[in-house]
């Protein structure tokens, strides 16, 4: 028995066949469409699924999607996303029209935390938090064994907590001093600019524009200014953000994923060392994401494997349908 899972990212669209033990057995990816109508993304998803599914046709028991947000979870569609010029796109409805299967659509971090809860570091625990440090900053939480969804499926937006309301740094969403606005891969250059100015270091706009997160972390490892100062500040910002999430959700287990975390475990260690300064709740167990780059793919399959009860109510689905047709 297998599940098809889909990770709709800002840049890439990934599709996998996942076993009922949470193992990815087949995968494919392509760029996420960035133009077209509100069905362009779903059309591409369907095309990818049809390619990858051929070997597993009769053994696939469901389809799970983890997507960038924000979501309208009742309709299973993405509303007004800042991360794709299409902005609004349908997922649940066109997929249901195409595939005769139980299908669920949740936010990518909600999927990832459910994957940890069902198959990963969260097994045996009731309170699990997943944080991604990547192009954006996001989170998903399981509290008392319950996947937090919220009224529209956006209960996870910890990236937009305000860490400094006086900060001159604006987030992609427009807000001031947001965790994501200062610490995400897409916004890191803003922190570099601010710290450089504060430490009297000259960095041109051209250098800033070409700067990748790896350059910043490598500069830090080599002890070079302004990157040492930037990364030390970033470790405090991330600690403040993560501690705030821990103080809100009180997890036993926290896993941290996303490219910034997965590529820089030494930085994550530095960040964890700063947590004490901000924590009021007892320190949880913290590790890197169990399924690494596949956190969302595995998590979306976990959503189908063991659907959260309230999600079943929200996205009513015929759970007795088991044949795969398109
Ligand atoms: Zn924001």
pTM of the model: 0.94
Ligand 1 centroid to Cα of residue 116, in Å, is: 25
**281 and 300: one domain?**
no
- Please report whether residue 324 resides in a domain: no
What does the pLDDT read at residue 317?
Answer: 58
What does the pLDDT read at residue 55?
Answer: 81
- Please report whether residue 119 resides in a domain: no
- Please report whether residue 47 resides in a domain: yes
- Please report whether residue 326 resides in a domain: no
HSE at residue 315, side-chain half, CA atoms within 13 A, is 29
What does the pLDDT read at residue 82?
Answer: 83
Ligand 1 centroid to Cα of residue 239, in Å, is: 17
Ligand 1 centroid to Cα of residue 197, in Å, is: 23
**137 and 274: one domain?**
yes
Taking a 5 Å cut-off on Cβ, the residues next to ion ligand 1 are 160, 171, 173, 175, 178
Ligand 1 centroid to Cα of residue 190, in Å, is: 14
> Is 110 in contact with 156 (CB distance < 8 Å)?
yes
Ligand 1 centroid to Cα of residue 156, in Å, is: 13
Ligand 1 centroid to Cα of residue 41, in Å, is: 24
- Please report whether residue 229 resides in a domain: yes
Q: What's 190's DSSP letter? A: H
What are 41-85's pLDDT values in tens digits? 999 999 999 988 778 878 999 999 999 999 999 999 999 998 899
Ligand 1 centroid to Cα of residue 157, in Å, is: 9
**274 and 299: one domain?**
no
Ligand 1 centroid to Cα of residue 307, in Å, is: 29
**CA–CA separation, 180 vs 241, rounded Å?**
9
- Please report whether residue 162 resides in a domain: yes
Q: In angstroms, what CA-CA distances link 231 with 78, 136, 186, 241, 268?
A: 33, 17, 15, 15, 11
Domains in the chain: how many in total? 2
CATH code for the domain in which residue 8 is found: 3.30.420.40
**189 and 283: one domain?**
yes
**86 and 174: one domain?**
no
Ligand 1 centroid to Cα of residue 179, in Å, is: 7
**285 and 212: one domain?**
yes
**138 and 151: one domain?**
yes
Ligand 1 centroid to Cα of residue 158, in Å, is: 9
Nearest by Cα to 77 from 154, 18, 155, 136: 154
Sole residue written with tokens 């706009």: 205
Residue segments in the chain with a per-residue pLDDT below the cut of 50: 318-326
Write down how long the chain is.
Answer: 326
**11 and 100: one domain?**
yes
**98 and 144: one domain?**
no
Residue 247 domain boundaries: 124-289
- Please report whether residue 325 resides in a domain: no
Ligand 1 centroid to Cα of residue 177, in Å, is: 8
Ligand 1 centroid to Cα of residue 10, in Å, is: 16
**CA–CA separation, 28 vs 80, rounded Å?**
27
């Amino acid at each position: 028995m297998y599940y098809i899972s889909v990770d709709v990212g800002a840049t890439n669209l990934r599709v996998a066949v996942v076993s009922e033990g949470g193992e990815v057995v087949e995968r494919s990816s392509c760029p996420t469409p960035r133009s077209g109508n509100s069905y362009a993304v779903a059309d591409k998803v369907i095309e990818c699924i049809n390619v990858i599914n051929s070997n597993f046709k009769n053994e696939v028991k469901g389809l799970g999607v983890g997507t960038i947000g924000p979501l309208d979870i009742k309709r299973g569609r993405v509303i007004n996303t800042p991360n794709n010029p299409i902005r609004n796109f349908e997922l649940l409805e066109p997929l249901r029209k195409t595939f005769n299967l139980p299908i669920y659509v949740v936010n990518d971090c909600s999927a990832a935390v459910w994957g940890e809860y069902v198959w990963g570091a969260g097994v045996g625990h009731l309170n699990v938090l997943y944080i991604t440090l990547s192009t954006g900053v996001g989170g998903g939480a399981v509290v008392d064994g319950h996947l937090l969804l919220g009224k529209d499926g956006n209960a996870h937006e910890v990236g937009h907590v305000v860490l400094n309301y006086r900060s001159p740094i604006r987030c992609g969403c427009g807000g001031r001093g947001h965790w994501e606005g200062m610490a995400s891969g897409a916004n890191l250059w803003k922190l570099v600019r601010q710290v450089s100015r504060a430490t009297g270091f000259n960095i041109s706009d051209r250098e800033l524009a070409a700067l990748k997160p790896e350059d910043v972390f490598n500069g830090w490892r080599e002890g070079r200014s302004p990157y040492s100062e930037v990364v030390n500040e970033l470790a405090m910002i991330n600690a403040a953000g993560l501690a705030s999430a821990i103080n809100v959700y009180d997890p036993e287990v926290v896993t941290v994923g996303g490219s910034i975390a997965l590529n820089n475990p030494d930085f994550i260690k530095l960040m964890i060392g700063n947590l004490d300064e901000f924590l009021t709740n007892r320190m949880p167990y913290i590790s890197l994401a169990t399924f690494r780059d596949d956190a969302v793919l595995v998590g979306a399959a976990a959503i189908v494997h063991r659907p959260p009860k309230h999600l079943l109510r929200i996205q009513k689905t015929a759970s007795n349908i088991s044949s795969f047709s398109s």
